[in-house]
């Protein structure tokens, strides 16, 4: 029926090596693709984190309220000085 001699064993061993090589080659390509994706993702993360933050613009309330407070202080001081001079 089927004889398992030295030639048959060699052929079976060669076929198993070819199948194992093809399997390992496919797995290596899958792993390479996954690693490229991970490198790309972490590259994007590092690029995002290394950018300086955008400058924050002051809000409208901050722009309006700061000059008014300064003007009030100056006006009060000027009024106080004028009152002191006129009363003397």
d(CA 70, CA 34): 60
Residue 40 placed within a domain = yes
Segments in the chain below pLDDT 70: 59-88
Number of domains in the chain: 1
Is 78 a domain residue? yes
What would the DSSP string read from start to end of 11-68? HHHHHHHHHHHHHHHHHHHHHHHHHHHHHHHHHHHHHHHHSPPPPPPPPHHHHHHHHH
Q: Would you say residue 1 lies in a domain? A: no
**pLDDT score of 12:** 95
pTM score: 0.47
Which domain does 26 fall in, by range? 6-87
Question: Tokens 């693709």 — which residue?
Answer: 33
pLDDT tens readout for residues 22-46: 999 999 999 999 999 998 888 888 8
9 conformational bin, left if phi > 0, alpha if psi -120 to 50, beta if neither: alpha
Give the alpha-carbon dihedral of 20, 25, 31, 36, to 10 degrees: 170
Amino acid 17: pLDDT: 98
């Amino acid at each position: 029926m089927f004889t398992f001699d030295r030639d048959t064993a060699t052929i079976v061993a060669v076929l198993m090596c070819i199948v194992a090589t093809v399997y390992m080659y496919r797995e290596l390509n899958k792993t390479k693709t996954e690693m490229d994706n991970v490198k790309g993702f972490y590259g994007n993360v590092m690029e995002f984190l290394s950018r300086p933050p955008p400058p924050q613009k002051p809000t409208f309330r901050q722009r309006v309220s700061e000059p008014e407070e300064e003007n009030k202080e100056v006006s009060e001081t000027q009024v106080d000085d004028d009152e002191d001079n006129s009363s003397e």
